[in-house]
Homo-oligomer: A and B are copies of this chain.
Amino acid sequence: MALLATTNAAALIRRSRSWNTLFLWLYFGSYMLSALHAQQNPDSTEKKFAIAIHGGAGGDPSKWSSEYQSQRRTGLQAALDHGVALLEKRADALDVVEAVVRILEDDATFNAGRGCVLNENGEHELDASIMDGRNLQCGAVAAVKRAKNPVSLARLVMTQTKHVLLIGSGADQFGEATGVEQAEPDYFLTEQRKASWQKWKLGDKDALLHAPSTHKGEDEQLYLGTVGCVVLDVHGNLAAATSTGGLMGKRWGRVGDSPIVGAGNYADNETCAISGTGIGEEFIRRAVASDIAARMRYGHNTLAEAVTGTLTTMPAESGGVIAVDARGNVVMEFNTPGMSRATADSLGNRGVWLGRND
């Protein structure tokens, strides 16, 4: 048997010389093609870190005042810069998404934390979630009123309880017990939001109940919702965080997708990190964030194919997502006229956009 094998091997070597030459050329050709491809598509080059953030989808940014456009760009840029600075210092993805979302929550321009929209009764009710791609650990809160930074309360749910989702006054009691920074109602409710709410109050508030999918108004700010951040850190870990004040004039304890892990937020090192924004109901019924990851995991889609695939199943103008995979590919896609967003990576790519192209 050994002799036979040796003889065959010698014959094979003779026969395979021309094959070897062919393989060598094929290998060399593939290498050149892939190098060319990488140059044309910087996203296919592996990155040390990558970050994407959003400040909500919906509305047509070209109709906003230049002052409001500028406020949003400045806010996104500040959050992005802080995230990049942390990532350059080798910070963990989980710390970065929390820190970045805190900045967006603190910025009254966005509908999360300070500057959130008001519910039917003129009160604020905040939702947030956070997820660690290393181990699927996650935490979320819905309809909370007391934590200055709901995303940090969500992280405490993750780290200090074995629960995933705490809601309402129970979640606020938990927050007080942990000592997380509290804030008075006046902190959250800006004069601008109160004015918008008065305007909404004069309109048909029932319209929000019966047609949240068409919650359009002259005041575009009414329905700009949600902030979020997804990160790949230099250690190769993914994380995602999402925070929102929900829908203007929302009633009846309505909860959207932001605090629902698998719908508006998801992170798994094996696939991707996702944060969504838009009509939460459409995100929940399709488990959007989980569906995107599943298309990668089971359908072997690229991140871009997965995001496009899922968004294609959604009604027009239902929102968008930001996503990053383990190689640092970033996808920011939406089926609304605009999505306030920004991205940066370790290769030096940077950008802030409100509408489709600017």
Closest 8 CB pairs of A and B: A170-B253, A262-B287, A294-B294, A298-B299, A287-B290, A298-B298, A170-B252, A167-B253
Residues in A lying within 8 Å of B, measured CB to CB: 131, 136-138, 142-143, 161-171, 173-174, 209-213, 251-256, 260-263, 266, 280-281, 284-287, 290-291, 294-295, 297-299, 301
A301 to chain B: which residues have CB within 8 Å? 298
| Bound: A161/B251 CA distance, A | 11
Task: For A138, give its contact among B137, B142, B285 (CB under 8 Å).
Answer: B285
Interchain CB contact (< 8 A) of A252 among B171, B213, B255, B281: B171
Q: How far is the CA of A284 from the CA of B263 in the complex (A)?
A: 10
Chain B residues with CB under 8 Å of A170's CB are 251-254
A131 proximity list for chain B (CB < 8 A): 285
**Given A136-B285, A287-B290, A294-B294: A168 in contact with B167 (beta carbons within 8 A):** yes
- Whether B287 contacts A261 by the Cβ 8 Å rule is yes
B299 touches A255 (CB 8 A): no
Contact of A281 among B164, B209, B263, B299 (CB under 8 A): B164
A289 → chain B, closest Cβ, in Å?
8
- In the bound complex, do residue B174 and residue A252 qualify as a contact, i.e. CB atoms below 8 Å apart? yes
Please tell me which one of the listed residues B173, B287, B295 contacts residue A287 in the complex, with CB atoms under 8 A apart.
Answer: B287
Chain B contacts of A209 at CB under 8 A? 161-163
For A138, the chain B residues whose CB sits under 8 A away are 284-285
Complex interface: chain B residues within 8 A of A212 (CB)? 162-163
* Closest B residue, CB atoms, query A280: B164
- 16 additional A-B residue pairs with CB within 8 Å, beyond A131-B285, A167-B167, A169-B253: A136-B286, A138-B285, A142-B167, A143-B167, A161-B210, A163-B212, A163-B254, A165-B254, A165-B255, A166-B254, A170-B251, A261-B285, A290-B290, A294-B295, A294-B298, A297-B299
